[in-house]
Amino acid sequence: MNVLLIGGGGREHALAWKISASPRLGKLHAIPGSDAIAGLAVCPPIEQSDSGAILAYALENKIDLAVIGPEEPLARGLGDELASAGIKVFGPSRKGAMLEASKQFAKEFMARHGLPTAGFQVLYEAGYARQRIKENRKYPLVIKADGLAAGKGVRICADEGEALRAVEDLMEKRMFGYSGSKLVMEEHLTGREASVMALVDGNSYLMLPVSRDHKRLRDGNEGPNTGGMGAVAPVRLEDNVLETVRTEVLDRFIAGIKKDGIPFRGVIYAGIMLTPSGPKVLEFNVRLGDPETQCLLPLLDGDILELLSACAEGRLAGKKAGASGACASVVLSARGYPDAPEKGREISGLDDLPEGALVFHSGTRKADGKFVTCGGRVLAVSCRAATPEEAREKVYAAVKKIRFDGMHFRTDIGL
């Protein structure tokens, strides 16, 4: 089976690593890939944004399965374009990707199909938004840009002043461009968070081990929100909570996409808040999480291509995702992340890691044969072990071996 992987971050490096271990693999290609992924896949000089060139390349290279990692090409409809040319695609249709690309679409989908989520209103215009905020009595209040904003379009507002500022920044100053043309105003929920990911083939789903991301930059959940500073899996949910997630979130999700006629073969990722009144969906992503993937894939025992192709072909029913042990992943970020990360620092220690330590590259490139930093999140180090405690110990022993100028990481992943 020839596989084309779209994307070039840490999630895709982990996917390339896991796919490479499959006995079904013919040749692996990645667009754009990265210098690290190039150790596992052919990376032609094609931009991720160039759908036409991607399609031509896929046809020329007899691609059997396309695996689309990031949200942006999904939201653009790359999956639909490849699928109409007869290529099997792991990744939802453009309409399915709206569940991530528009918070209004996602909230209305949840309301229509009875998925538990925070109460909300859509704000279409700044004057109206201000009026609704002035009428609001309960703080904190959550205000979100409707569209994609790389995880930065959510404001937890402590008072009216902050809420009004969110309207100004997101809707009037267009901090995230067109994404702020509508806002969603939402009830504030409290509780611990969990990342629930399931493979979906349009009719059935296969739940992956539950994981937990650590979004804030610094220990103790301090500092700004980031794309994710580390992850652990599995996160054990109580039986009744797990049951609610299955029946009220995933079963209703499947019923909803069928009723609405949304073609969906890929991953649904529900960001869940475990509130005192039960689990509620904070948001949907339509792809694997980053860094959750770097933590989940090492846990899976089976052949990933078997699962991905079953999903792309609508034959997921009855499949199992065998997983054992626990895994912890720690992200190493560059000085200045998330605002203005430094680049070009040489990375040392990658050849001297303890046995079993895995390193996935998010933001690196090769210069004179050596890896240097080239992004905010630079690497994720993952270790699998029998227990979460052992995984934590192993991963921090591995992290100690790696160095680059300005390297930062959280020391409390998994605590």
Binding positions for ligand GLY, rule: CB under 6 A? 151, 213, 228, 285, 289-290, 292
- State in angstroms the smallest separation of the CB of 76 from ligand GLY: 18
Residue closest to 195 by CA, chosen among 265, 245, 136, 122: 245
DSSP 365-397: EEETTEEEE-SSEEEEEEEEESSHHHHHHHHHH
Tell me how many residues contact ligand AMP (CB under 6 A). Answer: 13
Nearest approach, Cβ of residue 364 and ligand AMP (Å):
25
Partner whose binding site includes residue 142, from ligand AMP, ligand GLY, none (CB under 5 to 8 Å by kind): ligand AMP
Is residue 188 involved in binding ligand AMP (CB under 6 A)? Answer: yes
Single out the residue of 35, 50, 193, 251 in contact with ligand AMP (rule: CB under 6 A).
193
Distance CA 370, CA 162 (A): 45
215 counts as binding ligand AMP under rule CB under 6 A: yes
Residue with smaller CB distance to ligand AMP, 55 or 99: 99
Comparing CA positions, the residue from 336, 266, 342, 348 lying closest to residue 307 is 266
The packing angle between helices 103-113 and 251-260, to 10°, is 100
Indicate which of ligand AMP, ligand GLY, none lies near residue 186 (CB less than 5 to 8 Å, by partner kind): ligand AMP
Q: Which of 25, 38, 282, 321 binds ligand AMP (CB under 6 A)?
A: 282
Q: Indicate the residue whose CB is closest to ligand AMP.
A: 283
Helix (H, G, I), strand (E, B) or coil at 46: coil
DSSP secondary structure of 132-173: HHHH---SSEEEEESS--TT--EEEESSHHHHHHHIIIIIIS
246 binds, among ligand AMP, ligand GLY, none (CB under 5 to 8 A by kind): none
186 binds ligand AMP (CB under 6 A): yes
Q: Give the position of tokens 């009144």.
A: 277
* x-or-dash string of contact with ligand AMP, 100-139, rule CB under 6 A: ------------------x---------------------
Q: Spell 350-381 as b/e; 16+ CB within 10 A means b.
A: beebeeebbbbbbbbbeeeeebbbbbbbbbbb
Which residues are near ligand AMP by CB under 6 A?
A: 118, 142, 151, 154, 156, 186, 188-189, 193, 215, 271, 282-283
